[in-house]
Structure 1
Amino acid sequence: MADSSKKMSLMGLTTLVTVNMMGSGIIMLPTNMAQLGAISLLSWIVTAIGSMAIAYCFSQCGIFCTKSGGLSAYTEEAHAKSGFFLCSYLYFISLAIANVAVAISAVGYMSSFVPWLSSGAIPLFIGTVGLLWITTLANFGGPSITGKIGSVTVWGVIIPVAGLSIIGWFWFKADILAAAWDPHNLPISEAVGKAIPLTLWAFLGMESAAQATDAVEDPKRNVPLACLFGTLGAAVVYVLSTTVIQGIIPNDELAKSAAPFALVYAHIFNPMIGNIILALAVMACVGSLLGWQFTLAQTAKMTADQDLFLKLFSKVSARGAPIVGMIVCGVLQTLMAVSTISPNASAQFSKLVNLAAVTNLIPYVTALTGLLVMMHKAKASPAIYTRNTAVLLIAVAYSLYALYACGKDAVFGGTLVLAFGYLLYGFLAKRFVNEPLTVQTRAGNP
């Protein structure tokens, strides 16, 4: 039995959840939200509530589900083996898309040091693909090196963003925020709906919170609390930082910026401080991308270990790195970068964020519904069942609304990806033809 003194406390796990969620998800948001106007800040309220409901349900899934596999294992509880595959497949695609978006964010910030990168579509593409492959190759050293680098570089975003949430109010001007409120005369419902994919993007990754159950003190108490407190902590920083920046930088200038946090620090202090923030943001993006590249390859490996992806994804080096799978992932992301090529980093980022949100939200819904089956199998008490079901309905309602808010183009693209997944599973299904019979036999027993 593990020594409880060596396990993670509630405070430690809450910090871990907040750090994991923030990563690089915030650095381009002020620019993209400014393009809608400060009215888009209202979407944080909807997303914070929805994300907290989702995080809570995932924490409950982590407690009730004894299988490994995260979202895919939760999905399998309600949707059998095809659900496991489709959840893994969509989550894999979502991570690949998100990685391209993170790379674009990093290149947008780097363009201040290397102006050539923002001089057209081809330079932006070259910078994005170059960064994707550099972080792929850097992962060949194995998970321990990746983890150590990521745990340091992520603070390059957290420190300046959280810092702005505190000190920025000394330079905040209400008239600047008022002027930026609704430049396009959008109805509140339309503005909030258009901003939902952007604010949701900042919360993607909260599903990883329940994966630390074995290393936490009193997990049945601390994991749900850490999920909620971590999500709430990130929400507070997101809301404060994006609000205060709208009251410091005029909206037109902010909407055109490729590096909004560097811009605001240069405005508050001087260009040198802005360049330091710029360097920290680039460092954080590269570190975040490094970690997510490994997560992408590990997702493929986990699914291949279940005989649901090509076996080449299961092969690992002596250092535990799935190198062949990483190379395949690198090729896939290069093709994605080609398909979304644009001279504007912000436009390219927005297109990818919407598609990444759609392909992530569908696994969210399927995994959330697995909680109902888990509670039934575990004979959860009526009080727990009622409470969890109520929160689950809020989480699913938000997920469905967010899917709608992503827009018809992103939903259409996500539907095509999902339909292609069914075709792929058709070729794999013969491996599991006996499993439904086994389930049926069990169900028929008294």
Structure 2
Amino acid sequence: MAEASKKMSLMGLTTLVTVNMMGSGIIMLPTSMAQLGAVSLLSWIVTAIGSMAIAYCFSQCGIFCQRSGGLSAYTEEAHAKSGFFLCSYLYFLSLAIANVAVAISAVGYMTAFVPWLGSGAIPLFIGTVSLLWLTTVANFGGPGITGRIGAITVWGVIIPVAGLSIIGWFWFKPEVLAAAWNPNDLPISEAIGKAIPLTLWAFLGMESAAQATDAVENPKRTVPLACLFGTLGAAVVYVLSTTVIQGIVPNAELANAAAPFALVYAHMFNPVVGNIIMALAVMACVGSLLGWQFTLAQTAKMTADQEMFPSLFSKVNARNAPIVGMLVCGVLQTVMAVSTISPNASAQFGKLVNLAAVTNLIPYVTALTGLLVMMYKARVSVTVYVRNTVVLLIAAAYSLYALSACGREAVFGGALVLAFGYLLYCFLAQRFVNESATP
């Protein structure tokens, strides 16, 4: 009984899921969405439904597949070893791309304190790379320190964003929102499609919800419900905060803001409060980036442990930190920052978000398909099979739609990266011939 009492309840896991998803993904979105107009807010509805379907399917995968590997292990259920490698490879790249985007978000908010960072492409690049390497080196202390810092800093985003969702309505002006509705006169379907990668960005990380199966009470009930409620909770905060900000700050001003949430608090109160929000956002970004840098290195280590990445990623120090792997990841992210260099933080952020979404969505699709095999192996009831299959098809349909919405450039880049992954795997395939051979 003592052990059971230590396990997490539905409320506790739901809170954990919501906090994990919110992180720093939201803080640059109002600027990017304002460039399309307030009509882009409609994409939240589509993304919330699709994300809840994906989160539910991953929670089911976590119940039926208990071995380590996360999305890669789920993929292997349907697509064998090559699926494990390609999923890990793409997910690894998506995390690296996302880390660069988070660093850019932080630098955007830091420009209020260090204006030089916003004075051109080179200062933005220097600030981004410096932050990437700072958080890489800070992770040398191991997962314990990283986890404790992240658990505190994440509230630097959650408190201002969630707070705006509640108190912002006292400053909300319907005429400001109406004026911002569709400044580019885009067809509604096109505006929603262009905003999908942005709104999806805010939900990336929901796959982590299924990883807590062993630590919760009644996981077959708690995990699926927490995934749904947690995703729904994040969706409500996202929708309310991005809607209210469009009704406070004029669209032209918001579309060019380097720090949109700081800007809205300055409008609501005064510049001092805006600067406090900026400081909180920088703190949250650094903490979030610290955690995702470790997740990136751990993804590479997990894949290397399966003999699918170079063995150097498996090497850890006395504090269980894969330092060599982190250094390689730091170099990779620096190259990515160079390849997407731009004088405008929002433009660079948008380009990276699209590519991160593509390289994340493909692993989502491959992992989702593994659920059918898992249910077959588990001999689930017809009711469970039909219910899960219907949700899976909704999740897959959204994922495919979101892929198409990311734009030709991002999809083309993702296709090249995927094709290169198949080339890499051909040098690994011989290691697993005996495992797949028929006796």
Q: Which interval holds the TM-score relative to the shorter structure?
A: over 0.9
- Matched residue, 2:165: 165
Q: Offset of 1:182 from its aligned partner? A: 0.3
- Matched residue, 1:372: 372
Distance (Å, rounded) in 2 between the aligned partners of 1:290 and 1:394: 33
Distance (Å, rounded) in 1 between the aligned partners of 2:380 and 2:118: 55
Q: Offset of 1:2 from its aligned partner? A: 7.4
- Matched residue, 1:357: 357
- Matched residue, 1:244: 244
Distance (Å, rounded) in 2 between the aligned partners of 1:198 and 1:253: 19
Superposed, 1:148-227 pairs within 5 Å as: 148-227=148-227
Q: Offset of 1:66 from its aligned partner? A: 2.0
Distance (Å, rounded) in 1 between the aligned partners of 2:334 and 2:202: 23
Distance (Å, rounded) in 2 between the aligned partners of 1:162 and 1:111: 23
Distance (Å, rounded) in 2 between the aligned partners of 1:266 and 1:9: 39
Q: Detail structure 1 runs of 4+ shifted over 6 Å in the superposition.
A: none
Distance (Å, rounded) in 2 between the aligned partners of 1:4 and 1:306: 33
- Matched residue, 2:266: 266
Identical-residue share of aligned pairs (%): 86
Superposed, 1:13-412 pairs within 5 Å as: 13-412=13-412
Distance (Å, rounded) in 2 between the aligned partners of 1:411 and 1:98: 16
Distance (Å, rounded) in 1 between the aligned partners of 2:74 and 2:210: 12
1:432 aligned to 2:420?
no
Distance (Å, rounded) in 2 between the aligned partners of 1:190 and 1:66: 41
Distance (Å, rounded) in 1 between the aligned partners of 2:2 and 2:401: 42
- Matched residue, 1:444: none
Distance (Å, rounded) in 1 between the aligned partners of 2:80 and 2:97: 26
One-letter amino acid of the counterpart of residue 292, structure 1:
W
Distance (Å, rounded) in 2 between the aligned partners of 1:214 and 1:93: 28
One-letter amino acid of the counterpart of residue 137, structure 1:
V
Q: Offset of 1:434 from its aligned partner? A: 1.5
Aligned to 2:437, the other structure's residue is in SS state: helix
Q: Offset of 1:67 from its aligned partner? A: 1.5
One-letter amino acid of the counterpart of residue 301, structure 1:
K
Structure 1 unaligned spans of 5+: 442-446
- Matched residue, 1:4: 4
One-letter amino acid of the counterpart of residue 385, structure 1:
Y
1:322-365 CA-partner distances (Å, limit 9, x unpaired): 00000000000000000000000000000000000000000000
One-letter amino acid of the counterpart of residue 192, structure 1:
I
1:231-267 CA-partner distances (Å, limit 9, x unpaired): 0000000000000000000000000000000000011
Distance (Å, rounded) in 1 between the aligned partners of 2:266 and 2:40: 24
Distance (Å, rounded) in 1 between the aligned partners of 2:4 and 2:35: 49
Q: Offset of 1:56 from its aligned partner? A: 0.1
Distance (Å, rounded) in 2 between the aligned partners of 1:256 and 1:274: 16
Aligned to 1:342, the other structure's residue is in SS state: coil
Distance (Å, rounded) in 2 between the aligned partners of 1:430 and 1:364: 26
One-letter amino acid of the counterpart of residue 306, structure 2:
Q
Structure-2 change in CA distance of 1:2 and 1:61 (3 Å): farther
One-letter amino acid of the counterpart of residue 410, structure 1:
A
One-letter amino acid of the counterpart of residue 384, structure 1:
V
Aligned to 1:433, the other structure's residue is in SS state: helix
One-letter amino acid of the counterpart of residue 61, structure 1:
C
Aligned to 2:91, the other structure's residue is in SS state: helix
Structure-2 change in CA distance of 1:2 and 1:377 (3 Å): farther
Distance (Å, rounded) in 1 between the aligned partners of 2:33 and 2:359: 22
Aligned to 2:172, the other structure's residue is in SS state: coil
Distance (Å, rounded) in 2 between the aligned partners of 1:9 and 1:62: 17
Distance (Å, rounded) in 1 between the aligned partners of 2:111 and 2:82: 44
What is the aligned length? 439
Distance (Å, rounded) in 2 between the aligned partners of 1:13 and 1:417: 35
Q: Offset of 1:126 from its aligned partner? A: 0.2
One-letter amino acid of the counterpart of residue 166, structure 2:
I
TM-score by length of 2: 0.99
Distance (Å, rounded) in 1 between the aligned partners of 2:126 and 2:388: 47
Aligned to 2:183, the other structure's residue is in SS state: coil
Q: Offset of 1:435 from its aligned partner? A: 2.0
One-letter amino acid of the counterpart of residue 108, structure 1:
G
Distance (Å, rounded) in 2 between the aligned partners of 1:2 and 1:334: 48
1:64-106 CA-partner distances (Å, limit 9, x unpaired): 0121100000000000000000000000000000000000000
Distance (Å, rounded) in 1 between the aligned partners of 2:50 and 2:97: 22
RMSD after superposition: 0.7
